[in-house]
Amino acid sequence: MNKAKHIAIIMDGNGRWAELQGKKRVKGHEKGADVVKEITTYCANNIEIERLTLYAFSTENWKRPRLEVEFLMKLLDKYLKDELKNYLKNNVRFEAIGDIRAFSKTLQKTIHLVEEKTAHCDGLVQSLALNYGSQDEIIRAINRLKSTDSDITMQMFHNALDCKHDVDLLIRTGGDKRLSNFLLWQVAYAELFFIDQLWPDFTTNELEKIIKKFKKIERRFGGLK
């Protein structure tokens, strides 16, 4: 039976959720942050799940309206500060993947602080993809390896990536059926679940149903069995 050791989620639909309710888009992002907390706590208490990687802010999200981007930056800073006690309570190690150099010095400091404070935790690893794009990640990995004298191996390239762990199960909420430049290398043999539910409506019960379906899938990794 399959084990969903590494779950990755494209958390889509926050803005649409708010608009459908006649609210400002930022209200959807606030609700989405609450769902992140619930899903992370659920995964932290499931001994089979080792890693949870969440697509929080992409390299393309800078194209959104300036006020929305500014709100997202403030929300991220607040989320990390507020969530630190829960990370520690649930033995969750936080890490950021992506190029966070584009963020303000204040936000970078918060990110590094939470990484340091949770570095000793040996339970679930929650990775937030921040200013992350898989194509950007791959280019940065290539640049890290440019000075290598020997031929580059699969393992060398894998280790040069921000996320060094293959994904078992990828979920995208919001109805769209695309990867949107997320973990393109790491999802090579992942099982993909695209659901119509918007992220603010996503629940631990829904995640549990998906994991049960995942467990029954025959994963062949290119072979016959």
Residue 222 lies in a domain: no
Reported as half-sphere exposure (CB side, CA atoms, 13 A), residue 76 has a value of 25
Q: Which domain holds residue 206?
A: 6-216
Residue 223 lies in a domain: no
Residue 116 lies in a domain: yes
97 vs 143: CA distance, rounded Å = 17
Q: What percent of the chain has pLDDT over 90?
A: 91
The residue behind tokens 């981007």 is 69
The model's confidence at residue 148, banded by pLDDT at 50, 70 and 90, is confident
For residue 221, what pLDDT is reported?
A: 66
| Interhelix angle 25-44/66-89, nearest 10 degrees | 20
Q: Are 97 and 125 in contact (CB under 8 A)?
A: no
57 vs 180: CA distance, rounded Å = 12
Domain count, the chain: 1
What is the token pair recorded at 23? 């609210």
pLDDT tens-digit map of 158-209? 999 999 999 999 999 999 999 999 999 999 999 999 999 999 999 999 999 9
Q: Are 159 and 137 in contact (CB under 8 A)?
A: no
pLDDT tens-digit map of 125-142? 999 999 999 999 999 999
CATH code of residue 161: 3.40.1180.10
Catalytically active residues are 12, 61
What is the token pair recorded at 68? 């929305």
